[in-house]
Amino acid sequence: MKIILNNRQEEFDASSITVSKMLELKKFTFRMRIIKINGVLIRKDKYDSTVINEGDNVQMLYLMSGG
């Protein structure tokens, strides 16, 4: 399936994947992050149960300490 991840097209060998799986496949290890799928914020405790489907728009950003 193809999705949009931070405005770029990404392809995965599956018809859908969970947020946790996407993070694992992309090797995104930094834990302080915000994820939105199609404009909806996904809390960390929902990463295992939230599914990303074909055509979804996934936005991710890192929160770095300092201010």
d(CA 6, CA 33): 13
**The one among 8, 11, 39, 45 contacting other proteins by CB under 8 A:** 39
C-alpha torsion angle, residues 53, 50, 64, 26 (rounded to 10) = -50
Answer yes or no whether residue 27 interacts with other proteins by CB under 8 A: no
Stretch binding other proteins (CB under 8 A), from 12-20, 21-29, 48-56, 59-67: 59-67
- Interface residue with other proteins among 36, 48, 51, 54 (CB under 8 A) is 36
Residue 34 binds other proteins, judged by CB under 8 A: yes
Inter-residue contact 47 to 19 (CB < 8 Å): yes
